[in-house]
Amino acid sequence: LPFGWLALSSALSIHTIVGLPEIVPGADVAQLLVDRLRTLPQSLLDNDIVVIAQKIVSKSEGRLRNLSDAIPGERAYELAQRTGKDPRLVQIVLDESTEVIRAAPGVLITRHRLGLVMANAGVDRSNVPQSTNTGTNSSERVLLLPLDPDASAAALRQRLCAAFELQSLGVIVSDSFGRPWRLGVTNVAIGVSGMPALIDRRGQPDRDGRRLEMTEIAWADAVAAAAGLAMGEAAESTPAVRVRGLNWTCGGGSAQDLLRSRQQDLFR
């Protein structure tokens, strides 16, 4: 039996952190997480990674805009026609973007000012609480990405490290992204703190002593994707997850590490 246990030696466990309230602008997400975690033995340990959905970060930071406040320009009207999207929404997407990558019916992919290539620059109409004091549609609100998700992750990390007296904690802010050649979305890391984002194994020999060819690992993206599985598991989607059991060394990774530069883009 002891030998048997060795056959499943490396265990990774992913838990959702349930019971968070609806997050409103100004909410202290760090304290809410600390409160939820404190009720537990071994609530947070060194080498754990906390993954939180972009939405609750953006909501707490008040990154909301009213569609009715957007004044579409000529480019927004043109792209709205090509995509079939609301020109006001398109204007807000353009305000968040540095470049339009692809516009087609139902599809608007841009490079966000953070460098992220994604649909609608991350501007999200779903799961955004609407103002309730008007009866009109004109006040519909949309949610933008955090101003600086790496900084949001770092701030949360600092609070969690202080509360639980940790040295080595990773924090990821994640969002769901589509992929050019594959259908469906997976979660990726748009903010990273305290942990590596990209692990470079190029130049390390394989088991036969040859140099490995393609071995930059999108580690933070894989952790985000794994956390995304757990986030989707709860009856109602859960925006915070604890990942335990990974073996890593504290480091200064950034979500920027995961971005291909325009020069490295596989399509240019």
Q: Candidates 66-74, 142-150, 151-159, 199-207 — which segment interacts with a second copy by CB under 8 A?
A: 199-207
Residues 125 and 140 sit within 8 Å (Cβ to Cβ): yes
DSSP calls for 159-173: HHHHHHT-SS-EEEE
CB of 222 to a second copy, least distance (A): 5
Residue 33 neighbours by CB under 8 Å, 6+ apart: 17, 20, 50, 52, 156, 160, 240
The residue written with tokens 């990726």 in the block is 188
Is residue 108 part of the contact set for a second copy (CB under 8 A)?
Answer: no
One residue of 47, 80, 221, 239 binding a second copy per CB under 8 A: 221
Q: How far is the CB of 47 from a second copy (least distance, A)?
A: 12
What's the full length of the chain, in residues?
A: 268
Residue 50 CB contacts under 8 Å (≥ 6 apart), including other chains: 17, 33, 44, 156, 157, 160, 169, 170, 171, 172, 240, 241, 242, 243
Tokens for 10? 């490396």
Q: Judged by CB under 8 A, which of 14, 51, 53, 80 binds a second copy?
A: 14
| 142, amino acid identity | V
The DSSP code for 205 is B
Contact characters 59-88, a second copy, x per CB under 8 A: ------------------------------
Q: What are the tokens at 101?
A: 């990558």
Looking at the Cβ atoms of 71 and 267, the one nearer to a second copy is 267
Q: Which of residues 178-197 bind a second copy (CB under 8 A)?
A: 178-188
Closer CB to a second copy, residue 79 or residue 117?
A: 117
Shortest Å distance, C-beta 8 to a second copy: 4
- Whole-number minimum distance, CB 26 to a second copy, in Å? 20
Contact in structure between 190 and 149 (CB atoms under 8 Å): yes
Pattern 88-107, binding to a second copy, x per CB under 8 A? Answer: --------------x----x
Which of the ranges 58-66, 151-159, 164-172, 232-240 carries the binding residues for a second copy, by CB under 8 A?
232-240
Neighbours of 112 (CB within 10 A): 20
- Backbone angle region of 201, left / alpha / beta, with phi > 0 → left and psi within -120 to 50 → alpha: alpha
| 175 scored as a contact of a second copy (CB under 8 A) | no
Closer by beta carbon to a second copy, 27 or else 73: 27
Binds a second copy (CB under 8 A): choice among 19, 62, 84, 252: 19
Interface size with a second copy, residues (CB under 8 A):
86
